[in-house]
């Protein structure tokens, strides 16, 4: 029932057309079944002059006066046969056209629904999800559903309706022959049912294997430079081959099941048709069955058996579709992040971390423990600490990508739990250590932060990020395409473009998450000096491992063992023993050694 409601929701705007398709299928079934009866009438009643017992054909004869008139004008019967086939052709065209429109509409609605939902899922979901598997669900599974609506749904109605009406007609002609004709139907239906159940499990395994294969492929292509750098091509090929073999074996299992079903059902159906022909000949010789009715039985037998035999294929396709719907619903059942409810206060940059502790949902220990500090609007705060000390996690809490486990964060006196997430993130800019650039021009990548920004503002932001001169050295300047993920730019250039993008957004709070790590110390100093010109306009957080990047900050926070171990200015921290002083001494000695070597 849940899946039916889901599918019915996707069919919005085409539901009436789907109902009309069912009516068109009914018309097709009737014309298809009338054709053999018309042939039987022409052979038995018109040509052989046997008595007419069918009320419909009695009325038909009265329209033309007599059977004799029809016998002398056989072209009338031929014209009706042609007319029925033309009508069938028109009906098939309409059914195919509408099926295509419905299937494409359903696929479009489904893709839009999945994509929109994925955009609104919490950050924690995307951290754990496999990108390749998500892509497989958004493409292959959607295509499976589309194909079912492209014809299988109407085919199911056709199969059932044809079998029911044909059986009724056959019993009205000759009960003994009708029983013989329908003897094998229960076996066919049972085989189709068990085949459907078996294929449902097999299809799910094959789909999951395809998702694993897609994940491996996507991961490898994303990390191609790392693979080449560490000479891991053969290992990655072997790893992909394992996934490929698993997918191939499961797909072959699907094919073997299909081959077994088609081969077995073909044998059963053809045997049944042979039995009907043999008994039909015997009944005709005994005078219990006319030649025309014999033709009807043979024709109807094919109309009953082949659709019911295909019913197994339809059920297997439906089984595959239910698997695909289930996999898609696993995504859609994940609760979306509420980014619209909450307060939208003015954000100036006054921030208070009040006894903040944090633990990941799947973690077994705290990442941050009882963090307390205050930041005034316009201040620059540097955050330092060893790897894994929670520096980035602290900033993710500020943007509510994660929620605090305990404690609270206040911005201008308002708890961020009460602030609308959309409003909060609009006012907090962040530059990541590994920034993502779109496969567009440099100008578009920068301006994406503020679509209304002028060309001059883009240039000014680039100058602050110390990337304007670099861009102008490119042949096409700001119109240079950066390639997928910014692959055509160096790590430092990508970071500076990302900094320019964030500066252009003019948010009152800016976070630099180790985003100067890929630039040289000279460029680092130039960027920090340029950012000083914006002092007072925005509150700045700099997550860094360099004392040089932190020394001009209004406050330096050192994290160790989940807690704040030191807090103060550069000068005050050098006066006390601790991690900051040790880092400073190490980096200073390295710098002096480097100068001596030069």
Range among 201-205, 529-533, 561-565 with highest mean pLDDT value: 561-565
Q: How confident is the model at residue 596 (pLDDT cuts 50, 70, 90)?
A: very low
Give residue 415's pLDDT.
92
Position with higher pLDDT, 282 vs 220 = 282
pLDDT for position 407: 92
Q: Which CATH class is domain 15-332?
A: mainly alpha
Cβ atoms 523, 365 nearer than 8 A: no
User: What share of the chain in percent tops pLDDT 70?
Assistant: 92
Q: d(Cα 461, Cα 458) in Å, to the nearest integer? A: 5
Mean pLDDT value across residues 89-100: 88
What value does the mean pLDDT take over residues 438-450?
84
pLDDT band for 535, please (50, 70, 90 cuts). Answer: low
Q: What is the pLDDT of residue 469?
A: 86
Of 57-71, 349-363, 384-398, 557-571, the least confident: 57-71
The domain segmentation of the chain, as residue ranges, is 15-332, 345-407+525-598
Q: What is the mean pLDDT of the chain?
A: 82
Residues 6+ apart with CB under 8 A from 552: 380, 528, 532, 570
**Neighbouring C-alpha atoms within 13 Å toward the C-beta of 247:** 16
Bridge partner list, 408: 354
Q: What is the per-residue DSSP string for 182-243?
A: HTTHHHHHHHHHHHHHHHHHHHHHHHHHHHHHHHHHHHHHHTHHHHHHTT-HHHHHHHHHHH
Mean pLDDT of the 227-250 span: 80
Q: What is the pLDDT of residue 374?
A: 92
Res. 357: pLDDT tops 90: yes
Asked if the domains 15-332 and 345-407+525-598 are classified in one and the same CATH topology, the answer is: no
- Distance CA(500)–CA(530), nearest Å, equals 11
Query: In whole angstroms, what is the distance from residue 399 CA to residue 424 CA?
Result: 7
Residues β-bridged to residue 428: 509
**pLDDT for position 45:** 80
How far is Cα 66 from Cα 46, in angstroms, rounded to an integer? 10
Q: What is the pLDDT of residues 121-174, one digit of tens each?
A: 888 888 788 777 788 788 888 888 888 888 777 888 888 888 888 888 888 888
Which pairs count as long-range contacts for 384-387, CB under 8 Å and 24+ apart, including other chains? Answer: 384/543, 384/544, 384/545, 384/547, 384/550, 384/556, 384/557, 384/558, 384/559, 384/579, 384/580, 384/583, 385/558, 385/559, 385/560, 385/579, 386/560, 386/579
**Residue 392, SS3 per DSSP:** helix
pLDDT digits (tens, 9 = 90+) for 25-77: 888 888 888 888 887 888 878 888 878 777 777 787 788 778 788 788 888 88
Query: What digits encode the pLDDT tens for the residues 2-14?
Result: 777 887 777 877 8
Examine the pLDDT at 95 and tell me if it is beyond 70: yes
Residue 362 has pLDDT above 70, yes or no: yes
Q: Which long-range contacts (CB under 8 A, 24 or more apart) does 184-189 make?
A: 184/268, 184/269, 184/271, 184/272, 184/305, 185/304, 185/305, 185/308, 187/268, 188/265, 188/268, 188/269, 188/305, 188/308, 188/309, 188/311, 188/312, 189/308, 189/311
Q: Assess whether pLDDT exceeds 90 at residue 306.
A: no
Instruction: Given CATH 3.40.50.300, say whether it is the number of domain 345-407+525-598.
Output: yes
Q: What confidence tens digit (pLDDT) does each residue in 497-519 have?
A: 888 888 888 888 888 887 666 56
């Amino acid at each position: 029932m849940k899946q039916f409601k889901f599918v019915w929701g996707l069919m919005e705007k085409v539901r009436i057309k789907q109902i009309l398709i069912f009516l068109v299928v009914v018309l097709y079934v009737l014309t298809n079944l009338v054709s053999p009866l018309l042939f039987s009438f022409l052979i038995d009643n018109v040509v052989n002059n046997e008595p007419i017992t069918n009320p419909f054909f009695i009325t038909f004869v009265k329209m033309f006066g007599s059977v004799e008139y029809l016998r002398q004008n056989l072209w009338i019967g031929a014209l009706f046969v042609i007319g029925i086939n033309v009508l069938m052709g028109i009906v098939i065209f309409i059914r195919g056209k509408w099926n295509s429109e419905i299937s494409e509409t359903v696929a479009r609605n489904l893709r839009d629904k999945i994509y929109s939902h994925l955009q609104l899922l919490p950050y924690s979901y995307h951290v754990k999800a496999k990108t390749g598997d998500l892509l497989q669900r958004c493409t292959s599974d959607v295509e499976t559903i589309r194909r079912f609506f492209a014809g299988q749904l109407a085919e199911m109605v056709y199969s059932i309706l044809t079998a029911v009406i044909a059986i009724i007609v056959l019993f009205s002609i000759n009960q003994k022959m009708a029983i013989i004709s329908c003897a094998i139907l229960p076996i066919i239906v049972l085989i189709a049912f068990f085949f459907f159940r078996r294929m449902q499990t097999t299809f799910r395994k094959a789909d999951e294997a395809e998702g694993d294969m897609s994940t491996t492929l996507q991961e490898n292509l994303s990390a191609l430079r790392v693979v080449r750098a560490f000479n891991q091509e053969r290992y990655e090929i072997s790893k992909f081959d394992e996934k490929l073999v698993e997918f191939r074996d499961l797909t072959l299992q699907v094919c073997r099941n299909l081959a077994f079903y088609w081969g077995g059902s073909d044998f059963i159906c053809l045997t049944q048709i042979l039995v009907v022909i043999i008994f039909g000949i015997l009944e005709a010789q005994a005078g219990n069955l006319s030649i025309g009715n014999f033709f009807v039985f043979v024709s109807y037998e094919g109309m009953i058996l082949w659709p019911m035999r295909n019913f197994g294929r339809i059920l297997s396709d439906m089984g595959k579709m239910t698997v695909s719907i289930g996999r898609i619903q696993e995504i859609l059942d994940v609760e979306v992040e509420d980014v619209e409810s909450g307060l939208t206060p003015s954000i100036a940059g006054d921030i208070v971390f009040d006894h903040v502790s944090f633990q990941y949902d799947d973690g077994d220990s705290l990442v941050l423990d009882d963090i307390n500090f205050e930041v005034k609007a316009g201040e620059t705060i540097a955050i330092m600490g060893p790897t894994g000390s929670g520096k980035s996690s602290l900033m993710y809490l500020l943007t509510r990508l994660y929620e605090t486990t305990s404690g609270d964060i206040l911005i201008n006196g308002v708890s961020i739990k009460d602030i609308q997430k959309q409003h909060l993130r609009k006012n907090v800019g962040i530059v990541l250590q590994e920034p993502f650039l779109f496969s567009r021009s440099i100008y578009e990548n920068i301006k994406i932060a503020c679509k209304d920004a002028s060309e001059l503002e883009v240039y000014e932001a680039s100058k602050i990020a110390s990337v304007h001169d670099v861009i102008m050295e490119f042949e096409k300047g700001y119109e240079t395409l950066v390639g997928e993920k910014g692959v055509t730019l160096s790590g430092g250039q990508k970071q500076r473009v990302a900094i320019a993008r964030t500066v252009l957004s003019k948010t009152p709070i800016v976070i630099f998450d180790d985003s100067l790590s890929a630039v040289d110390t000279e460029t680092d100093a130039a960027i920090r000096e340029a950012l000083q010109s914006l002092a007072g306009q925005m509150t700045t957080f700099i997550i860094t491992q360099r004392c040089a990047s932190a020394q001009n900050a209004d406050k330096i926070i050192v994290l160790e063992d989940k807690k704040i171990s030191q807090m103060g200015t550069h000068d005050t921290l050098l006066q006390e023993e601790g991690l900051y002083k040790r880092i400073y001494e190490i980096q200073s000695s390295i710098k002096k050694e480097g100068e001596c070597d030069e």
